Structures are given as structure tokens and as C-alpha cells.
Amino acid sequence: MLMDQPDKGYEPQNVEKRWYAIWEEHQLFSANESDSRPSYSIVIPPPNVTGVLHMGHALNVTLQDILCRYHRLKGYNVLWMPGTDHAGIATQNVVEKKLASEGRSRQQLGREKFIDAVWAWRDESGSAIIHQLKRLGASCDWKRERFTMDEGLSIAVRKVFVQLYHQGLIYQGDYIINWCHRCHTALSDLEVEHEEISGNLYHIRYPFPDYSGGIVIATTRPETLFGDTAVAIHPEDDRYQNLPSETVLLPLTDRRIPIIRDAYVGMSFGTGALKVTPAHDPNDFEIGNRHNLPRLKVIDDHGLMTDGAGTFEGMDRFKCREAVVQKLQEQGLLIGIEPYLSNPIYPGSGLLKLNRSQKKPLLRFKMAKPASSLRPGQQIITIGCTISGIGAFPGRSGGDIRFRHGPARPAES
């Protein structure tokens, strides 16, 4: 009678799967709240439900597993808390891509059914990730598995933000965000990339009030001039030391805007004069803060021109660009056009493959002053998130979240 021959090498598939099932059956990874032994716990950094685990996850999970198993051997009551993360916009776009392959869209489904589709996809994808974690041998307490959008966790987040608000540690305020006109959502800096494309640099004259001359600025986005609230020049630029006026006329409007001095302006770029549009450019936003400039939003959440653009209201921003250039030519205010490589914001690699429309910096939310002033050596820093419609703060619909922090660190070179 022939005996089964042992494998020449270790074959983990059957061995590890069989033993893991035994571990789970005997609840060897379960923590006990009433246990009198010393406690040791780790909350797993939740992997996103938008994909599968990669080598980084494998390393991370292995290190945590070593620590948890070591402390169990030392007699600790160990809790390794498992869970997955929702990865909001990335999840939405994965689901939209799936719908598109079926010839459908989220608009056709409607909000409620689309949310149902997202949750169904989460259940499917989340299960795959949990299965991968188990195949890695992760000794998590699986009966405690959570999802970052679970009701209990959402309530806990709201509670913490309310506490921070009442303690005067966070407040809402206007800030420039990366806004997606197709998805109607904000994207973090990590979710976008700058892709170099061929475009144009438009040289436009902003006349002095008496039309004796003017200041020529250079811009890649002439359609945003309706949101200009100043023209900035460098205080040491000799070309602008003896100007006949401290204001200029904003082309295609009946407004006057001030000429300001700011060291941010690059004297070697273009004409050395910068149109300042605080509501549509992060650098202009900071200049506007330094000089107390108003913020005029002239492109809405759909990428259409607002009433601030006058007769151009309702136009797509790119169509408006063409119309503005034509109008400037007719009025003799377009000095020249030159080819230029620019870096508009696009979705980050692997996230929004459905969406290659350019993202625009956009001003969002109204200012609410900090509950109390800063102490010496503190500063306000903005974390990489925005909150919208969570209903946690009475009378406020959402906003940028800013934390008090210690002394400012030196600027990076």
C-alpha cells in the first residue's frame, strides 16, 4: 500500500487555511472587557475598501500581528481592532465606473439608490479585504470589525468635533480647496496631481482711470478676471515705482481695483504684475488675506460663470475664456498671446479614471471667527479635510477645520 508522499516544499494554502479556521472557531483572538489581566490594544490602520491589499499592507499587518501575538504570550488581554475605511471620493468613482460599464449613471439612479449601490459595493469589496487579512494570518478580534461610516463611529466623530469647537480649538473659515466640478466634491492635495499641458499666456492691459496707460498682466485664465480685486506688484520692482495712479480699471467691468505691493510677486514672470483673484487661487487667497481684499467667487460649483461675470453669467468657464479673449481683442486690451505650459490640477493617479476634467481652486464656506484668541507661540494650521453638512455646529453647515498648534515650523526650502 502506497503512502501519501509529503510535499517537497511548504505549501501554505491548505495548512494555513485549516489552522486559521481552528483559531477562529475557538475565538483565540477575542478580547474580554471583564478580564483582569493587563490590557494591550491596537486599532488597525483601516485599509481603503476601494481596492486590495498591497505589500505595504502586508508589512504593516505583519508588524502589528507580531506585537499582538507577543503580548498574548506574555499574558496580556489583547485587542487588535479590525476595520476598513470608506475612502469617500475614491469609492464613489469606483462605483460610478461600474455603473458606466452598465450604461448607467448616478444621476439616473438618484441619490438614495446610488447610496445603496455604494454600500453594496462596500460589502463586496470590504469582504475581499477582510479575507485577505485572514489569509495573512492577522489575529484580529473579528467580531469587533468596524467600518468608518458605521453609525456609532460617525456619532463619535461628531462628538469630538463639537467638543473641540466648544473648547475654542477649531473653527470654520473660508479656504481654497481643490473642487471637482463633475463629482461635486472637494479633493485633498493627496488626491490630485499637476499635469503639464500646452496652453496660452494672455497679456492683458488694465487701464489707468484716465486711460493714459495701464499695467499689463499675464494670466493663463482670463475668465477669472471678473474675480480680480487687486493688481499686485513687487515693492522693489523699479518698473512700477512712479505710477500715475494707485488704481486701475478692471477690463470688461465698471470696477476700479487697487494696485498693491507684495513681495510674493515674481518680478521675472510675465510683466511682473499679478492679477489677484482671492476666491480662485490659493496664492492669491493668501495675498488677499494680507491686504484685506474682498473675495469674489465668479465660477460656481458646476464650473459655470456666476452673476459676478456680468453678461457672461451661465457660460462654461472654458467657453467664457474664448468669449473674454474675443471681447478683450475688440476693446484693444489684449496685448498678446504666447504658448505656455501650465499645470492644472487633475485627479490623482488611480483614483478618478472617469474624470479628466480640470479641477479648479475654489473658495468654500463662510468665515466664523475663532472662539478665543491664540496664546503667544501658537498658530492656526489647516488639516487636510473639509466638513460639509454634518449638522454638528448650530447655525453652521460645514467648513474647513483648523487646529491650534505650537510655534510655526520653518518654511521648507
3-state secondary structure of 76: coil
Q: How far is 362 from 174, CA to CA, in rounded Å?
A: 10
Per-residue pLDDT band at 2 (split at 50, 70, 90): low
Q: How far is 47 from 64, CA to CA, in rounded Å?
A: 14
**Percentage of the residues of the chain whose pLDDT score is greater than 70:** 80
Q: How far is 314 from 223, CA to CA, in rounded Å?
A: 12
Hey, what's the cell of 277?
Answer: 483673484
Q: How far is CA 34 from CA 31, 39, 199, 348, in A?
A: 9, 11, 66, 46
Based on C-alpha coordinates, what's the Rg of the chain?
28
Element (H, E) at 113: helix 111-135
Facing residues of 379 across strands?
405
Per-residue pLDDT band at 10 (split at 50, 70, 90): confident
3-state secondary structure of 176: strand
* Helices 12-25 and 111-135, axial angle in degrees (round to 10): 110
Give the pLDDT score at 154: 81
Per-residue pLDDT band at 356 (split at 50, 70, 90): very low
Residue 29 and residue 80 in contact, taking contact as beta carbons nearer than 8 Å: yes
Residue 12: pLDDT over 80: yes
Q: How far is 241 from 224, CA to CA, in rounded Å?
A: 27
Q: What is the mean pLDDT of the chain?
A: 80
More confident residue, 341 or 81: 81
What domains can you pick out in the chain, each with its CATH number?
12-149 (3.40.50.620), 150-173+365-408 (no CATH), 197-342 (3.90.740.10)
List the one residue out of 313, 410, 352, 287 whose CA is nearest residue 87: 352
Hey, what's the cell of 76?
Answer: 496580556
Residue 161: pLDDT over 60: yes
Per-residue pLDDT band at 272 (split at 50, 70, 90): very high
Give tens-digit pLDDT for 204-221. 999 999 888 999 999 999
Q: How far is 11 from 128, CA to CA, in rounded Å?
A: 22
Residue that has been written with the C-alpha cell 473674454 in this structure: 324
Compute the average pLDDT of residues 66-90.
91
Q: How far is 303 from 316, CA to CA, in rounded Å?
A: 6
Per-residue pLDDT band at 368 (split at 50, 70, 90): very low
Per DSSP (E only), the strands in 307-396 are: 334-342, 345-347, 360-364, 379-388
Give the pLDDT score at 125: 72
Give the pLDDT score at 295: 92
Most confident of 90-104, 246-260, 340-354, 381-395: 246-260
Ramachandran sector of residue 110 (left: φ over 0; alpha: ψ -120 to 50; beta: rest): left
| Least confident among 3-17, 68-82, 89-103 | 3-17
Amino acid at 3: M
Number of H helices, E strands in the chain: 8, 18
Residue 178 and residue 345 in contact, taking contact as beta carbons nearer than 8 Å: yes
Residue that has been written with the C-alpha cell 475664456 in this structure: 321
Per-residue pLDDT band at 107 (split at 50, 70, 90): confident
**Torsion on CA atoms 308, 310, 311, 314, rounded to nearest 10:** 10
CB-count burial class (<10 Å; 0-12, 13-18, 19+) for 54: exposed
Per-residue pLDDT band at 364 (split at 50, 70, 90): low
